[in-house]
Amino acid sequence: MIRQKMMNTRSSLGLFLGILLASTVAYAGEYSGPTRKAFMQDCTREANEKECLCVLDQLQGKYSEKVYLAYNADMQEGNGDMEFISFMMSAATGCVLASDDMGDALADGSREISDDDMKLLFNAIKKELPKKDFVKGCAPEAKVFFGEKMANSVCGCAYDRVVGDFDRFAKMVREEGSPGASNAWGADYIVECTPEGYSPDVEKNLLKLLNENGVPKSVGQCFLKTLEKEYTLRALVAASVKNSEAFQMIIMGLAMKCMGAAY
């Protein structure tokens, strides 16, 4: 169960950095000339014309012009709708990957992706997923384990690390595939951003988790005390990420030890 909570935290990173092409629904209609022109002028500052047209096609399939203009205006003012922002991020990064067979290269873990293409992907993520929106989406899942304050801190730190180091991002994509390729993508960022010490919220959440699974309070307290002696909080997260099966065995061993002491 502890491992599952770690997976929830990691999967949020995959979710909000996901690069699945957004699926289109019933065609909403082609936008007017001025709206198309304004979109293309803004988009081509960061991407090429082909990729921008790809995103525009998806927008026209998903949102009416009136709805798009309203959502876009809100986003420019920093009050974007999370569903719209996620759609725009997915469409933009998906269109980058779809160009020049880049998607196949990523799926194969190829090291032949050009720096220019990688920068397009990197910039699309930075542009379409502002930090506040990433944290807004990441923190609710992360706080189940970390608590609200630490979740906000860990999620914000993870975002900063993703968008703050292009070379590292490119290396990870070439070795592990695209963001969202697996729940484990970006796990290192979460580990590095996790504090060493257990907060009262983390301790409370762990005890609550154990109690919900039928573990007596005395055994849960013994387990937590033993766990804190064996692992820092960061080491706990790292151990879960690096070898989940071995870690499960360790956790079960600690639990059995406390169960034996109690009975």
What percent of the chain clears pLDDT 70, i.e. is strictly above it?
Answer: 71
Lowest mean pLDDT among 23-27, 156-160, 197-201, 231-235: 23-27
**Which tens digit of pLDDT belongs to each residue from 204-216?**
988 887 777 777 8
CA distance 105 to 9: 28
Identify the CA nearest to 158 among candidates 148, 147, 167, 169. Answer: 169
Angle ∠(34,38,42) on CA atoms, nearest 5? 170
- Long-range contacts of range 145-149, CB-CB < 8 Å, 24 or more positions apart? 145/5, 145/6, 145/8, 145/9, 145/202, 145/205, 146/9, 146/194, 146/199, 146/201, 146/202, 146/205, 147/199, 147/200, 147/201, 147/202, 147/204, 147/205, 148/201, 149/199, 149/201
Q: How would residue 37 be classed by pLDDT, with cut points 50, 70 and 90?
A: very high
Check residue 252 and give its pLDDT: 73
Stretch (H or E) spanning 263: none
Residue 83 has pLDDT above 80, yes or no: no
> Coil, strand, or helix at residue 154?
helix
Residue type, 172: M
Residue 253, judged by CB atoms within 10 A of its CB (0-12, 13-18, 19+), counts as exposed
- Annotated domain spans of the chain: 18-128, 200-262
**Which tens digit of pLDDT belongs to each residue from 118-133?**
887 788 777 767 787 7
Question: CB of 40 within 8 A of CB of 49?
Answer: yes
Structure tokens at 77: 């003012």
